[in-house]
Amino acid sequence: MNMHNVSWVRQDLISPSARPVGQNDPMRWARKNLFNGWLSTFLTVASMMTVVWITVAIAPWLGNSIWKANSLAECRQLLGGAPGACWGVIRDRWPQLLFGFYPSNLYWRPVLAFGLLFVALAPVLFRAVPARALWFSAVYPGIAYWLIWGGSLWFPISVYLGFTVAAGLFMLTARIGRGLGVSIAILAASLWWIYAVQPVTSDVNGLVPVVLDAVASRDVGGFLLSIIIGVTGIALSLPLGILLALGRRSKLPLIHMLSVMFIEFIRGVPLITLLFTASLLLNYFLPPGTNFDLILRVVIMVTLFASAYMAEVIRGGLAALPRGQYEAAEALGLDYWKSQRLIILPQALKISIPGIVNSFIGLFKDTTLVMFIGLLDPIALAAAIRANTNWQGIYWELFIFIGAVFFVFCFSMSRYSMYLERRLKTDHR
Amino acid sequence: MAMKSDASREPFHLSMLFNDTRYRARTIQVLAFIMLVLAAAWLVDNTVRNLAALGKDFSFGFLWATAGYDISPHAIDYSSTSTHARAALVGLLNTVIVAALACVTATILGVLAGVLRLSDNWIVARLMTAYVESFRNVPALLWIIVAAAVMSEAMPAPNAFRGENPTTSMILWDSIAITNRGIYLPVPEFSLSLGQINIGLSVLDLNSVAIFGVLAFSLLVRRGLVKHAQRLQSATGRRPATWWKSLLVCTVPMIALFYTLGFHFDYPALKGLNFSGGLQLRNSFIALWIGLSVYTGAFIAEIVRSGILAISRGQTEAAHALGLSSGRTMRLVILPQALRVIVPPLISQYLNITKNTSLGLAVGYMDLRSTLGGITINQTGRELEGMLLMMLIYVGISLIISGVMNIYNDRVRLKER
Amino acid sequence: MKMMIALAAIAAATLTTGVASAGTMADVQARGKLNCGVTGGQAGFSAPDASGVWQGMDVAYCRAIAAAVLKDPKAVNFVPTTGQTRFTALASGEIDILSRTTTWTFSRDVDLKFTFAGINFYDGQGFMVPKTLGAKSAKDLNGATICIQTGTTTELNLAEYFRKNGMTYEPVPVENNADIAQKYLAGACDVYTSDGSDLASTRSSFKNPQDHIILPDVISKEPLAPLVRQGDDQWADVARWTLNALIEAEELGVTAENVEKLSTGTDNPEINRLLGKEGDLGQQLGLDAAWAKRAIAAEGNYGEIFAKNIGEKTPIGLARGQNALWNQGGLMYPLPFR
């Protein structure tokens, strides 16, 4: 059918009509988003006033920032009575706030350890990284320890040998019975760590010395210390948390009861009391004469603390799995451990990753509490700096700096956990 | 590989303890129990040996010795001649007071910020987001210390109020003084006292008993009024106005009581080195209270926001379709449902506040940790007993709070099929 | 009850092994380092200087012990402790000796199970106020807000003194010196109370020390002494006699400069015994003959240590007063070396 000779069909294009009025007009946007009713208008005005008030209060202070000064008195002289921030304190002391009293010529070591941390975490964080990179993640703690504390490289290596010994024994004895194999492996590893590590380290080191300058724990401080405690606490609390979560969901009354008691006790007391326990009481509970580093004691306590919270996070993940998964595993004839390892835990852990990241953020913020037991976290260092005659009476600048660093760390981690939450959504809506 | 059949008629042999489901559960538990007992025995044995090596014994007798130090503030009678147990109790009360107050203010802040974050108003939503993100991502300890530093370094000293031309003056008609020692508020007092009863732990003031009695009476009468109104409404379809009756019932008896007791305010005044009279809120207390409130408020805001978002759009739309205004929709439809989602995490925030009061250490607030777990332990050298007792008290508080939460959860659980 | 008996039996069985274990001295020598508990920073007594080296009276004493026991005055780990943590740090073995302006009291000696090595500073609790406060004596402090370091005898003395005199006060407990100085200068408290030496040392760290006065009242006796764990007599002897050696050296005129020369032999038998030229005092102590010589050479004798760290020529500017030797009107009376 020829369209051109049909009279009721248009032959030419209509010119486009003008766009609707005021859809992108700022006035209209403002009316919709700022002055939508009297309450909204009131809120807008109040917010505007707040913003203006804050700006007026802070702007001159920030505007007159002084970076080049060696004491607060010098700052005040330069300012001549005007309000102004004295960032000279940060310029003067930032290495201390970041590293504590770590020897300044060795700063590359903690920085390198921090960089490698991301490499070690890569297989966990990004899908694209091959699973073989997990080997590096497993070796990383030893490397990091060696980099930060120095000493002989053979010490972390011989500690790792303990795991190898345990694994070998487990392979040999697993045929007799798995439970027996696990117990023997754990026993052997413990014996190795208690009796063999020191001699092996010193002997091998005598033959092939690989030594970095040792750094005393007392010199480790600032954000370096916060990160060390936070990262080790979370990493060590993961396996413990998994065991506790499984224990709490266990059908065996005794195991269930023990897990519940432990979790509820730890969650019921403030972290401060646990830290005081680490600094005051841990020596009571260990054989007479045992005495180890305060940082290690703190890490032990922080691990126990975090594992209780971790257990609850993972329990949430386990509870979120549909019953069908458990039933399917049983239907395949898998026993408890096999079904947990192959089917339940991989899924439950994936669900709990955002919760784990949130636990980490909480723990990282809580590391500031170690200042109460004499470790030099950033806030304790700030107190020490404020006690110095040069900087007596300064506080905003230090707190803003510390707060900003914490904010950058925690905010980026919480955004990351949100991203993960979106990415891991596998439920069918 | 083994078939999981329990109906075996094989003779018993040892490997069945591990491989036979009938016995395995028991075996595992017995092993776990043995391990636990061994571990506990090892810890206790070490402790006993260490105590013996130090020549200490394990006893709580120290609690009844004279404390010898002063505590301020103390909610109940306390002096340096009281016992350590009393000092611990004063500390516990201080912990509870600051925790309760911080819970209230954090909730108010959090609900406001959480609801306003969802507001259509662009600038308010942005502001609240800024508040939540900045306060959530910085340690609570830092907020407490900042609050303390501001209080002690930016506020005027009591000296500034002195002399002919004082550099600062009190606010609100000379009734409130804000100094670097704390804030002094006027405190209500009665010129007539009905007497006091000693109830062991503390002295009960009969005036406050009378006030509570009248308050309870008013509320009961008001409830009767409202019930009556509802009955009328269901019978006739019209609801009589009750608001003015309620107002009268609630206020008149109270005002009468206050008048007969001679109610007046006791104002703070500068006497000697410091203000005296009125109520002093100490620096340490204010710093802890504000610090905990703004920090936890940010978390509560998030909880409230996600609770509201958890209620499906359909509920809002249905409410709008019924012609409810958006304020009423929030009050009558959304919030009651959202509370079910909000309350459990809210309670765990309350738990966090209670535990975080122990950070008062940083600003010198004399709570449970710094009395029993601090000075007492130090003056008596009883770390083990003191820490143990303190931990148990904290666990007790936490268990009470979570117990309340569980009761609530059971009550609001969705009744499904 | 059975449980208690069992525990007691275990304790008794292990106590014997516990005692059989080597003492603190052997531990220190095996470690090659002395762990010495000090304050976190109190100028003149123990504080790290600008280059991070610890300096002060208490520090010097630990160096002397390290020199005597380990032959190296630098072989010391200084562990900062607070008033709250110091006793537990010592009891738990984290430190070998506590040299931290600690008052020798009955309960610490008897109930807390410590052994005090001898008084190295006679002190008393006083009050520091800003001049502007206008107080002339402690009796003017009724209603004052007072900063105290928590976990010390100071708290108890203060409570007692004010109760005795029927005055009220507002305690502001603070953990460490740095915070106290900051709070006091910010005016969060009217008064700072502590041992006189501490007041002087704190005042010296202020920008304008002359704006603050130390009131004349001394409300307590505070004999400061280093202390060790009870039950290790050999180690306690080392601590006690090292301190005595430093005081005796001042009495005999042995200084860090001349100790080397005098140790080759003098006509004074007392000096000879002290410096190991005669007798076998070192062996009796389980050390070598030159132990006291090294201890004195480390930082000088008691008088030199005092003058260098807190004496009148230092910013702290304390007079010897009660801490002068007994033959110069003071209380320092070294026990005889024979």
User: Does A27 or A147 have the greater pLDDT score?
Assistant: A147
Mean pLDDT on A109-121:
89
pLDDT the model gives residue B169: 66
Residue A365: pLDDT band (50, 70, 90) is very high
Residue C20, pLDDT above cutoff 50: no
Q: Which residues in chain C (41-70) have CB-CB distances under 8 A to chain A?
A: 41, 52
Q: Could you tell me which chain C residue has the CA closest to the CA of A292? A: C94
Residue C1: pLDDT band (50, 70, 90) is very low
- The angle, 0 to 180 degrees and rounded to 10, between the axes of the packed helices B84-117 and B122-136 is 150
Kindly determine whether residue A374 and residue C207, on different chains, have CB atoms separated by under 8 Å: no
Which chains reach chain B with 3 or more Cβ–Cβ distances below 8 angstroms?
A: A, C
Kindly determine whether residue A368 and residue B398, on different chains, have CB atoms separated by under 8 Å: no
pLDDT the model gives residue B57: 78
Residues of chain B in contact with residue A366, where contact means CB-CB under 8 angstroms, are: 139
Give kind and range of the element (H or E) at residue B48: helix B21-54
CA distance C104 to C116: 7
pLDDT the model gives residue C12: 40
State the residue for tokens 């504390």. Answer: A149
Residue A20, pLDDT above cutoff 80: no
Kindly determine whether residue A280 and residue C85, on different chains, have CB atoms separated by under 8 Å: yes
Kindly determine whether residue B48 and residue C10, on different chains, have CB atoms separated by under 8 Å: yes
Residue B143, pLDDT above cutoff 50: yes
B1 in contact with A, Cβ within 8 Å: no
Residue C6, pLDDT above cutoff 50: no
Residue A356, pLDDT above cutoff 70: yes
Nearest to B297 by CA among B287, B307, B289: B289
Q: Could you tell me which chain A residue has the CA closest to the CA of B396? A: A268
| Nearest-by-Cβ selection for A280 from C14, C88, C186 | C88
Residues of chain A in contact with residue B49, where contact means CB-CB under 8 angstroms, are: 287-288
Q: Could you tell me which chain A residue has the CA closest to the CA of C18? A: A288
Kindly determine whether residue B25 and residue A252, on different chains, have CB atoms separated by under 8 Å: yes
pLDDT the model gives residue B10: 62
Residue C7: pLDDT band (50, 70, 90) is very low
Neighbours of C90 (CB within 10 A): 25
A214 in contact with C, Cβ within 8 Å: no
Mean pLDDT for all residues in chain A: 83
| Nearest-by-Cβ selection for C14 from B49, B70, B272 | B49
Residues of chain A in contact with residue C205, where contact means CB-CB under 8 angstroms, are: 389
pLDDT the model gives residue C328: 92
Q: In this predicted model, what pLDDT tens digit does every residue of C177-207 receive, in sequence order?
A: 767 877 888 777 889 999 888 888 888 878 7
Residue C10, pLDDT above cutoff 60: no
Residue A22, pLDDT above cutoff 70: no
CA distance A232 to A422: 27
Residue A94: pLDDT band (50, 70, 90) is confident
Q: Could you tell me which chain C residue has the CA closest to the CA of A71? A: C207
Kindly determine whether residue B381 and residue C142, on different chains, have CB atoms separated by under 8 Å: no
- The angle, 0 to 180 degrees and rounded to 10, between the axes of the packed helices A88-99 and A378-387 is 140
User: Does A258 or B153 have the greater pLDDT score?
Assistant: A258
Q: In this predicted model, what pLDDT tens digit does every residue of A213-224 receive, in sequence order?
A: 888 777 888 899
Residues of chain B in contact with residue A181, where contact means CB-CB under 8 angstroms, are: none
Measure C25 CA to nearest chain B CA, in Å. 17
Strand C191-195 to C144-149 pairing: parallel
| Nearest-by-Cβ selection for C159 from B80, B181, B284 | B80
pLDDT the model gives residue C65: 95
Q: Could you tell me which chain C residue has the CA closest to the CA of B150? A: C186
Mean pLDDT on B136-152:
89
Mean pLDDT on B155-175:
67
Mean pLDDT on C211-219:
90
Residue type, A179: G
Residue B417: pLDDT band (50, 70, 90) is very low
pLDDT the model gives residue C69: 95
User: Does B168 or C260 have the greater pLDDT score?
Assistant: C260
Residue C15: pLDDT band (50, 70, 90) is very low
B395 in contact with A, Cβ within 8 Å: yes
Q: Could you tell me which chain B residue has the CA closest to the CA of A364? A: B139
pTM score above 0.85: no
Residue C13, pLDDT above cutoff 60: no
pLDDT the model gives residue B344: 83
B124 in contact with A, Cβ within 8 Å: yes
Nearest to A280 by CA among C96, B371, C85: C85
pLDDT the model gives residue C335: 93
Residue C287: pLDDT band (50, 70, 90) is very high
Kindly determine whether residue B120 and residue A284, on different chains, have CB atoms separated by under 8 Å: no
pLDDT the model gives residue C8: 40
Residue B241: pLDDT band (50, 70, 90) is confident
CA distances from A155 to A140, A200, A208, B295 (A): 14, 8, 12, 43
Residue B203: pLDDT band (50, 70, 90) is low
Mean pLDDT on C52-75:
92
Q: In this predicted model, what pLDDT tens digit does every residue of B75-134 receive, in sequence order?
A: 788 888 889 999 999 999 999 999 999 999 999 999 999 988 888 788 888 899 999 999
CA distance A380 to B202: 39
| Nearest-by-Cβ selection for C151 from B68, B70, B378 | B378
| Nearest-by-Cβ selection for B358 from A268, A272, A281 | A272
Q: In this predicted model, what pLDDT tens digit does every residue of C104-144 receive, in sequence order?
A: 999 889 888 899 999 999 999 999 999 988 888 888 888 88
Three-state DSSP at B417 gives: coil
pLDDT the model gives residue A205: 77
Residue C34: pLDDT band (50, 70, 90) is very high
Residue-wise burial string across C148-164, b where 16 or more C-beta atoms lie within 10 A, e elsewhere: bbbbbbbbbbbbbbbbe
What single string gives the DSSP state of each residue in C214-225?
Answer: E-S---S-EEE-
pLDDT the model gives residue B331: 82
Mean pLDDT on B226-244:
81
Residue C14, pLDDT above cutoff 60: no
pLDDT the model gives residue A410: 93
Kindly determine whether residue A393 and residue C185, on different chains, have CB atoms separated by under 8 Å: yes
Contact A36, B120 (CB under 8 A): yes
B383 in contact with A, Cβ within 8 Å: yes
State the best of C28, C84, C174 to mutate against chain A, taking most chain A CBs within 10 Å. C84
B154 in contact with C, Cβ within 8 Å: no
DSSP state of A101: T
State the best of A277, A389, A390 to mutate against chain C, taking most chain C CBs within 10 Å. A389
Sorted by sequence, the CB contacts under 8 Å of residue C332 that are 6+ apart come out as C247, C250, C302, C323, C324, C325, C326
Residue A364, pLDDT above cutoff 60: yes
Instruction: Out of A65-69, B220-224, B274-278, C19-23, pick the least confident.
Output: C19-23
Kindly determine whether residue B29 and residue A252, on different chains, have CB atoms separated by under 8 Å: yes
Give the B:C interface size as CB pairs under 8 Å. Answer: 121
Kindly determine whether residue B369 and residue A285, on different chains, have CB atoms separated by under 8 Å: no
CA distance A89 to C228: 40
Q: In this predicted model, what pLDDT tens digit does every residue of A135-172 receive, in sequence order?
A: 888 888 888 888 888 888 888 888 888 888 888 888 88
Percent with pLDDT over 90 in chain B: 23
State the residue for tokens 């092939």. Answer: A208
Residues of chain C in contact with residue B44, where contact means CB-CB under 8 angstroms, are: 7
User: Does B241 or B386 have the greater pLDDT score?
Assistant: B386
Mean pLDDT on C257-262:
92
Sorted by sequence, the CB contacts under 8 Å of residue B129 that are 6+ apart come out as B117
